[in-house]
Structure 1
Amino acid sequence: MDTLCNATGGWTRLAYLDMSDATQNCPSGFRLYQSGGVRACGRPVTGSASCSSVTFPSNGINYTQICGRVTGYQFGSNDALHTGNGNNHNNLNADYVDGVSLTRGSPRQHVWTFMGGVFESINIPSNCPCTAGSPQINIIPDFIGNNYFCESGNPTSSYYNQFFTADPLWDGKLCRSLEAACCNAPGLPWFHRDYGTASTTDYIELRVCGDEGTNNEDTPFGLAEIYVK
């Protein structure tokens, strides 16, 4: 791998799962979503908050940088970091987000958070922090800081039991109306963490989390691609 995240050479791929390839399967502990040719991996059916997890070992590789991308889809009423449905939104080890969490090692250290918001063009508290007028900009946990992407895939005024496949999340495209700023996040669709001289062999963990049951919301991912150097 040559140039990624404005850094040349030395990258090693730890994870690559592209569910548009029909020969690929979801990791153990994830549920397959399928609709109109879209395939994605989300939480198993549950009536309450949960996270589903898969880890990617470094195989002993020392690294100081992580670069990658994740794309996902909105199912139902994802509400990013909204605190109305639980007490875990400042707890990295719990269902702090409706979306995908990337961490490294144990105890977990935050790498990146991929949030799903509920609407693109209706201003309510469940929208992305980057959406115009969203109060969530004031409740981003310190462990996240600026290391997040957020997007809604819902251009409508409803959400119940809908799988929004026309607008994949965190790809830097189709940020309509109020969430236009969400597509201006630096680097999209690629995230990048540079730890300077602090090297590690930590594994990378990907979790799909939600603070309500899957009948109400989920954020299945369709692509995960992660490199280290």
Structure 2
Amino acid sequence: MTQRLLALHNFSVALPTSCKEIEQEQPSGMYELASFNETYEAYCHMEELCGSKGGWTRLAYLNMSDFSETCPSGLRLYQSEDVSACGRPLTSSAGCVSVQFPSNGISYSQICGRVTGYQYGTPDAVHSGFTPNHNNLNGDYVDGVSITQGSPRKHVWTLIVGFTDQTNSDNIYYNCPCSTGSTQHIQSFVGNHYTCESGNPTTSISAHLYTSDPLWDGQGCSSHEAACCDIPGIPWFHRDYGNATTTDYIELRVCGDEGTDNEDTPVSYYEIYVK
């Protein structure tokens, strides 16, 4: 049931426009907010998140473990064993599929979120040999998930999937840039704002969904990927822009630099907050 501040029963008091305007003593839950002379319901996280006190407004949420949930428009359903996830539509080409989340006019300076995905086939992280868009934020620069804000796009976070969590002379070219022996170099517009993991515990090639090791949760990493999982705050990512605020929408794109018969990174869970 939607939480309502007692003050809201006094119609002379305006509705809050973001969760940050709600008193900190209030519990987390659904609240009624105002936006552009309209009202809508949003989930407010009122406890500390990403090292910052409560008042976070949730813009994006997907939980495919809920059997009533469906994939966002444009994404294709994967089902294997007990896992349901949403990836690119069947295609023989590289590309990205986008889902946008409006801010509803909320002015924010921080973004906090997490994404869980699964590896399908043989993604190759940010290898530069398969796409002309390696250094193009607007293109398929990554096998994984790109999170940006606004238009023109501004990079927020990249969630990368490597070929395998093992290391030998053949796969070091395709593994996470943070893994042992990797020859990959992260793009300058990404910088340190990325998470990378592989769901493949072997050195073999197989066109199936690796369900035993969910991606980007900081769990199940081999010794070769230890540095990839040793990230403060994982599985959460956090950007703090200080005094710079924006009302830009958040965009999540599932990307691949080859067709889906070869590779994909379907997502099963995400939640993204702003404040």
AA partner of residue 218 (structure 2): G
Q: After superposition, where does 1:149-164 map in structure 2 within 5 Å?
A: 149-164=195-210
Give the % identical residues: 67
- Pair 1:99 & 2:150 matched: no
Structure of greater Rg: 2
- Structure 1 residue aligned with 2:181: 133
Deviation at 1:122, TM superposition (A): 2.6
Q: After superposition, where does 1:27-176 map in structure 2 within 5 Å?
A: 27-123=72-168, 124-136=172-184, 139-176=185-222
1:153-210 deviation line (CA, Å, top 9, x unaligned):
0001223212100000000001113111111022110000000000000000000000
Using the size of structure 1 for normalisation, the TM-score is: 0.97
AA partner of residue 190 (structure 1): W
1:65-112 deviation line (CA, Å, top 9, x unaligned):
000100100000111100111111110000000000000000000000
Tell me how many residue pairs correspond in the alignment: 227
Contact kept, 8 Å, 2:167 with 2:181, in 1: the verdict is: no
Match of 1:188 among 223, 234, 247: 234
- Structure 1 residue aligned with 2:42: none
Contact kept, 8 Å, 1:69 with 1:191, in 2: the verdict is: yes
Q: After TM superposition, which residue ranges in structure 1, 4 or more long, deviate above 4 angstroms?
A: none
Deviation at 1:142, TM superposition (A): 1.1
Once superposed, what is the RMSD of the aligned Cα atoms? Answer: 0.8
Contact kept, 8 Å, 1:160 with 1:216, in 2: the verdict is: no
Contact kept, 8 Å, 1:76 with 1:159, in 2: the verdict is: yes
Deviation at 1:40, TM superposition (A): 0.5
Contact kept, 8 Å, 2:167 with 2:180, in 1: the verdict is: no
Q: Secondary structure at the match of 2:116?
A: strand
Q: Secondary structure at the match of 1:185?
A: coil
Using the size of structure 2 for normalisation, the TM-score is: 0.81
Contact kept, 8 Å, 1:85 with 1:212, in 2: the verdict is: yes
Contact kept, 8 Å, 1:116 with 1:169, in 2: the verdict is: yes
Larger relative contact order (Cα-Cα within 8 Å, sequence gap ≥ 6): 1
**Structure 1 regions of 5+ residues with no counterpart?**
none
Contact kept, 8 Å, 1:115 with 1:151, in 2: the verdict is: yes
Aligned equivalents of 1:213, 1:160: Cα separation in 2: 15
**Structure 2 regions of 5+ residues with no counterpart?**
1-44
